[in-house]
Amino acid sequence: MLATTLLLFFAVAPFEQLVRLYDYDRSAPLEVRENGVEERSGVRLHDISYASPKGGRVTAYLAVPPGKAPFAAILFMHGGNGNRSSLLPGALVLAATGAVCLLIDSPLNGARSLAGEQLADFTKPERTRAAMIQTVVDLRRGVDLLLARQDVDPKRIGYIGASYGGTIGGVLAGVEKRIKAYALLVGTGDIGEFLRASPHPTAAAARKALTQERIEESIRILDDVQPIHYIAHAAPSALFFQNGRQDAFMPEASVERYHKAGSEPKKAKWYDAGHGLNAEAFRDRAEWLHERIGIGRMPTQVRN
């Protein structure tokens, strides 16, 4: 009887309540600041920041292509130990095809780092949960920024997230319908299984530092931000899951459940690659975004 009571008490809230975790004032000023700009192969790369509704400022790169507007737009999110520079090489290639690309630093990463803190710290589950919620809100605010630009077509916005970005992107897909296409790379829908089983250094360090009871408590605290609760609500946005068969960090069975839980339309593809995927995955992703949001095709020398 007690076990049943606890299960009911800790059951995740209905989806209609979960989405309220990511509410913010869309009418608040963006307060965009530009820190510098440079040109890279015809693409203008702006170093910017904007106000986070959860406090502080979001540091970002904004890559603006040459050519005639309106352009498609792509929002990027890096991995848990990365920053806005992590996906910049690929973003510049995609920008050159005709996409305005926005790459943000997550809370506690890159230029937003704080001494003694990290984005995914399962020994501090409340802090990690707050950082995950702020990441989603900051990404939604990034959509606001893109839509405020006259050179962006509001009907042609995509998302690319890798590792942590592929995980938190599942949450974003459930709450942000202005993004039409989500490419979710090497992510997982089940943070609990990742913590219990993954050899990733972050998960392994938590298992070493915490008792089994504390691990389960951390998972309970994080349960309402698990992507598996959101990814089924992504429609009408399209999903593209990309994963590597040699990825040691993401349990394959958990990844398959993430794929299965996603709403239609969706596509999933496995590659003969590790956690970083490979050039084939990049080409497939670019082609899928061409089909979904109308970015230009990559030059032949890049595609082949």
State which residues of the chain have pLDDT below 70: 1-12, 300-304
pLDDT given for residue 303 in this prediction: 46
Positive or negative, the Cα torsion across 137, 141, 142, 144?
positive
Pick from 217, 178, 218, 175: which is nearest to 15 by CA?
Answer: 175
pLDDT given for residue 6 in this prediction: 35
What DSSP string describes 171-231? HHHHH-TT--EEEEES--S-HHHHHHH---HHHHHHHHHS-HHHHHHHHHHHGGG-GGGTG
| Structure confidence by residue, pLDDT tens digits, 201-214 | 888 888 888 888 99
CATH T-level assignment (fold) for domain 15-292: Rossmann fold (3.40.50)
pLDDT given for residue 1 in this prediction: 35
pLDDT given for residue 302 in this prediction: 52
For the beta sheet containing 43-51, the strands, ordered from the edge strand earlier in sequence to the opposite edge, are: 33-40, 43-51, 57-64, 99-104, 71-77, 152-162, 181-185, 238-244, 266-271
pLDDT given for residue 301 in this prediction: 54
pLDDT given for residue 122 in this prediction: 84
- Hey, where are the domains in the chain? 15-292
In whole angstroms, how far apart are CA 46 and each of 3, 30, 73? Answer: 54, 16, 15
